[in-house]
Structure 1
Amino acid sequence: MNSEINNFNLDKYDFETLLNSINKCYADDIKDNLPKVSDFPKKIFNSTDSINLKSLIEFSETEDNIYTKSVAKRIAGVRHIQFARDNNIKLDLLPTWNLIAASILDLPSECTVSSIGSQGFLSIPLFKYDENMEDFDFIRFHIWHNDLLDYINQEISERFSIHSHSFLAQSWIINGIIINERYSVEKTNDDSESSLFKIEYNKTLNKVNQHTSSAVNTGQNVNVNKLEKEAYKTNETYKINSGDYHKSYSEGKNGLSSTFFSFTTQNKTVVQSNVTGPSKMQTSEINRKMHIDPKQLILEINQNFN
């Protein structure tokens, strides 16, 4: 293991904040079972501001408590993703995948927040730090599969597939093939088939991946033009700047592809995110409250590594 990644420097937040950012991504019903700072041995710390990742992983392999074991593995897996992202280097995919997959497979399915959004992929939150929006950091695990298409309205999903993000987005492909299309979206006063829609969330926004929202027509017509079509495969990565428009979809076998996906604040600013949709529609509801067991899909992804 790279000696630099072996040390998890707590320069942005202390260990308790890091732990809370991991724990908040598990299901509410098990929050009382999740570990506290005192459940981790002193041997995993190099000092008050640094965790020894090798010691943390060794602890996760010997720990009996399934919740503490899962959280320890998830901390280590998230560290791999953050280290690759923040240093602009290639992600060490296999150990990262093994840690994240085990953190889900080690627990009963109901412990995992696993829902489908408007784009049709399964989304599992792994880490969310939002106490200081200038350092906002949200990491998720996404799975596409043809079987998941039964849970969404595919026609509506396609109509509202071109969107922008408030934050810098980066995706790392675990398996399969992800197609990313980039678009220009220009406002116009002329008649157009497309309009800008803004996303309005309900009062459960504080629930990670468990809120409903609506795409609401702003009345602003736009011209939408495709700029590029990119294909990415295992262990490749791509970025989407905040405010830029794109859509992504899977062309893996049986539609199966998976990615790690992160949102971070870009240039210390947060921009308005929008989605384009049919100008003749006024609203479209987006539902993230549905829970779907991801374990069989994770085992199918595992077969790609074996």
Structure 2
Amino acid sequence: MEKKKIDFAEFLNSINKCYSKNCQDKLPKPKDFPFQLFDHEQNILIEELNSFRQNLTDSYLKSVCYRISAVISIQKARENDKKLDIIETWNLVSKSIEIVPKECVISSIGSQGFLSIPLYKYELEKKNFDFLRLHIWDESLKAYIDEEKCEKFSIHTHSFFAESWPICGKIVNDRYSAKITESPNDHSLFTVQYNKTLNEVNQHTSNAVNSGEDVNLRQISHEIYMPGSHYQINAGNFHKSISKGDNGISATFFSFTAKNGLVDQSFVIGKSEIQSSEINRKMYIDPTPLMNKITKEITSYAG
């Protein structure tokens, strides 16, 4: 996937918004990227970008350059159906995080109990929505979550087509069929309602609210994914993903994109006797120890 200079301002904005508000004024602008980084058709040249990055002393500009290379790598793998170079992409992402102050990193616990770090978010047009994140599961994160609540609302859908590339550990992905029934049942559809006053990337509160529609729930697959593999989830399909990694840690690069499918509403499944449940996603967690752990895991399997 090539990035044309005429689109670069919005592409850069979609990366910059995934850094915290604390450092927005320090992040690079389009003018900070010289014209030599673009070819005659105005596509960004990755090799030239990498060379440009090596000589930089501005840690914020350097971080964003690492992030640009990583994002394009994931997008190319996704859109050309090619294998993602996990080790190289991990090195780019981890360096983009490590070289800026901790307060610049958005790192929060998601509704499913994993740590979520946004990498890129384009949302100007819903039909071209594109959101890339780093997801990390670890035993240490259980101290920050309500495990019972996570389990009760673990089965869910996404509004957008989703794709995941495991970085380390082992991900178990279970898929489900959920058919609406007129007779009472143990499970109901819940809608997720967000607090619009906190509409920032990965930082908001939400409520799972019972829709009043009960469902017949049936598991239809049990899948195990390791580094080097990847899996996809169609928009509107029910699933849950959990970590079964050695040493308690697993991580993936995760993509949401409207280009391969979208639906108007996402749902979670919950017990029918529950009317609503608040999910808090605002908490910041320093990702440094977990990222060091991931690097150690990658080093061990890469030899």
For 1:6-155, list aligned pairs within 5 A: 8-10=2-4, 14-47=7-40, 49-155=42-148
Tell me the distance in 1 between the aligned counterparts of 2:237 and 2:100: 37
Tell me the distance in 1 between the aligned counterparts of 2:254 and 2:269: 22
Q: Is the 8 A contact 1:14 1:49 kept in 2?
A: no
Q: Which residue does the alignment assign to 1:165?
A: 158
How much has 1:206 moved relative to structure 2? 3.1
What residue identity is the alignment partner of 1:22? I
Does the residue aligned with 1:50 lie in a helix, a strand or coil? coil
Does the residue aligned with 1:9 lie in a helix, a strand or coil? coil
Q: 2:184 aligns with which of 178, 191, 194?
A: 191
Tell me the distance in 2 between the aligned counterparts of 1:270 and 1:253: 35
Deviates most, 256-265 or 104-113: 104-113
TM-score (norm 1): 0.95
Q: Is the 8 A contact 1:179 1:229 kept in 2?
A: yes
How much has 1:41 moved relative to structure 2? 2.0
Aligned-residue CA RMSD in angstroms? 1.4
The one-character-per-residue Cα deviations of 1:48-106 (angstroms, maximum 9, x if unpaired) are 63000011112222211110000010010000000000001110111111101100011
How much has 1:269 moved relative to structure 2? 4.2
How much has 1:205 moved relative to structure 2? 5.3
Does the residue aligned with 2:255 lie in a helix, a strand or coil? strand
What residue identity is the alignment partner of 1:154? E
What residue identity is the alignment partner of 2:4? L
Q: Which residue does the alignment assign to 1:280?
A: 273
Q: Is the 8 A contact 2:236 2:263 kept in 1?
A: no
Does the residue aligned with 1:51 lie in a helix, a strand or coil? coil
Q: Is the 8 A contact 1:135 1:268 kept in 2?
A: no
Tell me the distance in 2 between the aligned counterparts of 1:250 and 1:27: 27
Change in CA separation of 1:220 and 1:28 when aligned onto 2, cut-off 3 Å: same
Q: Is the 8 A contact 2:208 2:278 kept in 1?
A: yes
Tell me the distance in 1 between the aligned counterparts of 2:260 and 2:132: 18
Q: Is the 8 A contact 1:80 1:91 kept in 2?
A: yes
1:248 is the counterpart of 2:231: no
Q: Is the 8 A contact 1:81 1:91 kept in 2?
A: yes
What residue identity is the alignment partner of 1:62? N
TM-score (norm 2): 0.96
Q: Is the 8 A contact 1:93 1:235 kept in 2?
A: yes
How much has 1:109 moved relative to structure 2? 1.3
Does the residue aligned with 1:265 lie in a helix, a strand or coil? strand
Q: Which residue does the alignment assign to 2:226?
A: 233
Does the residue aligned with 1:161 lie in a helix, a strand or coil? coil
Tell me the distance in 2 between the aligned counterparts of 1:266 and 1:14: 17
What residue identity is the alignment partner of 1:9? K
What residue identity is the alignment partner of 1:217? N
Q: Which residue does the alignment assign to 1:179?
A: 172
Q: Is the 8 A contact 2:235 2:262 kept in 1?
A: no
Tell me the distance in 2 between the aligned counterparts of 1:9 and 1:118: 33
Tell me the distance in 2 between the aligned counterparts of 1:56 and 1:201: 38
Tell me the distance in 1 between the aligned counterparts of 2:20 and 2:41: 29
Does the residue aligned with 2:140 lie in a helix, a strand or coil? helix
Tell me the distance in 2 between the aligned counterparts of 1:83 and 1:35: 23
Q: Which residue does the alignment assign to 2:254?
A: 261
How much has 1:47 moved relative to structure 2? 3.5
How much has 1:110 moved relative to structure 2? 1.1
How much has 1:111 moved relative to structure 2? 0.7
The one-character-per-residue Cα deviations of 1:138-159 (angstroms, maximum 9, x if unpaired) are 0000000000011111011000
Tell me the distance in 2 between the aligned counterparts of 1:203 and 1:182: 30
Does the residue aligned with 1:83 lie in a helix, a strand or coil? helix
Q: Is the 8 A contact 1:242 1:266 kept in 2?
A: no
The one-character-per-residue Cα deviations of 1:280-299 (angstroms, maximum 9, x if unpaired) are 11111111110000011111
What residue identity is the alignment partner of 1:143? I
Structure 2, gaps ≥5 residues long: none
